[in-house]
Amino acid sequence: MNLADYQIRKKIQGGDIREFERLFLEYFKPLCRHAYLLLGDMDQAEDVVQEFFYNFWKNREEININSSLNAYLFQSIRNNAIRCLEQQALKREYTEQLNTGTLAGTGGVNQELGLKELNGVIESTLKKLPERCSMIFRLNRFEGKKYREIAEMLAISVKTVEADMGKALQQFRESLREYRNALH
C-alpha cells in the first residue's frame, strides 16, 4: 500500500466523513461499471456498490487493507457481485423447486393437493427455523424487503441478515429435497 492510500485509510478510519465522501465520489461510477460487467443490471450494480460503501464506513475501524486501495475496492465489489449472483441462483433454484413441486400433479385436484402439501412443507420449515431467521426470510421472500431494509428494521447488520438468509435457504433446500424424494 502506498503512502497516499495509507493516509486516506487512516483519515477514514478516524471518522473523516469528507475523505470518505471524496473516495465515494471518485470511485462510485467506476465501481458501478465494474459490478455491472458481472451482474448485467445497473440497478443491482448500484445497490452492490452502495451497500459496500455503507459497510465500508460502518466497519471502517476494523478494515485491514493489505493491497492498494484501488485493488481493495474493485476486489470487494467483485466479491459482493459474485455473492449477489449466488443469491440470485439460489432464488431461481428455490423458485424452480417450488414450481416443480406444484406442477408435479396431473392437474385439478392432484395439483391442488400438491400445492397444499408444498405449502405445508414451507410452513413447517419456517417453524423449524430460529424466530429471527424465519422473520428475515418472510420479510425478504414474502414482503420483498431488501437485506438493508431488514437490517435497519431489526437493528442488526446486513451481514447478520445474509447469514440468517443463508441458514434459511439451506434448511429450505433440505426440506424441498426431502419433499421431492418423497414424491418419487
DSSP string, 64-102: ---S-HHHHHHHHHHHHHHHHHHHHHHHHHHHHHHHHHH
3 state DSSP class of 14:
coil
pTM score over 0.85: no
The hierarchical CATH code for the domain 103-183 is 1.10.10.10
Q: Indicate the domain borders of the chain.
A: 3-81, 103-183
Q: Which residue has the cell 419456517?
A: 126
Position 99 scores a pLDDT of 67
- Write the single-letter amino acid at 5: D
CATH 1.10.1740.10 fits 3-81, yes or no: yes
The whole-number mean pLDDT for each consecutive block of 10 residues of the chain, a chain of 184 residues, reads 81 89 93 92 90 89 83 91 82 71 48 67 87 89 86 90 89 82 70
